[in-house]
Structure 1
Amino acid sequence: MKSSELTIGAAAERFGLATHVLRHWESVGVLAPARVTGSRRRYGEDDLRRIAVILRAKEAGFSLEDIGALLTAREPGQRTHLLRRRRTELAARIAAAQASLDLVDCALGCDHDDLASCPHFQAVVERRGSA
């Protein structure tokens, strides 16, 4: 084993994952570590970068199927549709989260006994409802 290669346990630990996650990703084709004696997996630098990409893509909301398509696309144009769709969905999630944060910030600044009767809070709620 090269010093730069990791066992499945070490690779999983590096990313805070369970080993079964890496096995699953391999079974669906988004990860393909090298095999050594006894079919033991060995994860090199390219595999570790790929794990990092998979994790970031999952955080962005991509499915494993979409991640596979992104990683195997040979031309940038093949990725465009998936990336544009995900960008639109992320922008909507960010806008919703920002509106929620605005509502919380408004409530934090309110000193009314009944938050729901606060005109400023009501205005923020109504803006959110019409968005």
Structure 2
Amino acid sequence: MAITIGEAAAQLGVEAHVLRHWEHVGALTVHRDANGYRLYDHDVLEQARTVLKLRQVGLSLPEVTAAMSPKKSAAQEVVRAKIAALESEVRSRQQAITFLRHTVECRHRYLEECADCATFVWDS
């Protein structure tokens, strides 16, 4: 059974214009009835849920479209690149946390007075 764009949007927790945009950029393939109305069946809803999840984990719409490519190697390439970018971000955030923890515990008032603080500054 197919549902309308409004019903699909409500089920997915997005606005209808978001689903139209996803379709427009090629991230979502929606079938239409004889009158041109969009039909959201189980398969289209599952595809939309996948798009939504990929967006939630940080993929851009072009990355989502590529990650959903029927060609597995192309999809894997995009996902591997996103994993590498996220891992780099995690490392950067961890360094920031380490630095901030040190500054909270450091007995020096200014960064240049502490060799450890200076090391953090120069390593970035």
Same-fold status (TM-score > 0.5): yes
Aligned to 1:64: 61
- The answer to whether structure 1 residue 78 and structure 2 residue 71 are counterparts is no
Give unmatched runs, 5+ long, in structure 2.
none
- 1:38 partner SS: coil
From the superposition, tell whether residues 100 and 50 of structure 1 become closer, same or farther in structure 2 (CA, over 3 Å).
farther
Matches of 1:48 and 1:125, distance apart in 2: 53
- The answer to whether structure 1 residue 48 and structure 2 residue 53 are counterparts is no
> Could you tell me whether the CA contact under 8 Å between 2:69 and 2:75 is conserved in 1?
no
Moved more, 60-69 or 40-49: 60-69
The 5 Å alignment of 1:1-131 reads 2=1, 5-74=2-71, 76-102=72-98, 123=116, 126-127=119-120, 130=123
Give unmatched runs, 5+ long, in structure 1.
none
1:61 partner letter: G
From the superposition, tell whether residues 47 and 124 of structure 1 become closer, same or farther in structure 2 (CA, over 3 Å).
farther
From the superposition, tell whether residues 128 and 55 of structure 1 become closer, same or farther in structure 2 (CA, over 3 Å).
farther
From the superposition, tell whether residues 48 and 130 of structure 1 become closer, same or farther in structure 2 (CA, over 3 Å).
same
Q: What is the root-mean-square deviation in Å for CA atoms of aligned residues?
A: 3.0
Structure 1 segments of 4 or more deviating over 6 A?
A: 114-117
**Percent identity, aligned pairs only?**
24
Length, aligned pairs only: 124
What is the CA-CA distance between 1:65 and the residue it aligns to? 1.9
Q: TM-score, normalised by structure 1?
A: 0.69
Matches of 1:87 and 1:45, distance apart in 2: 29
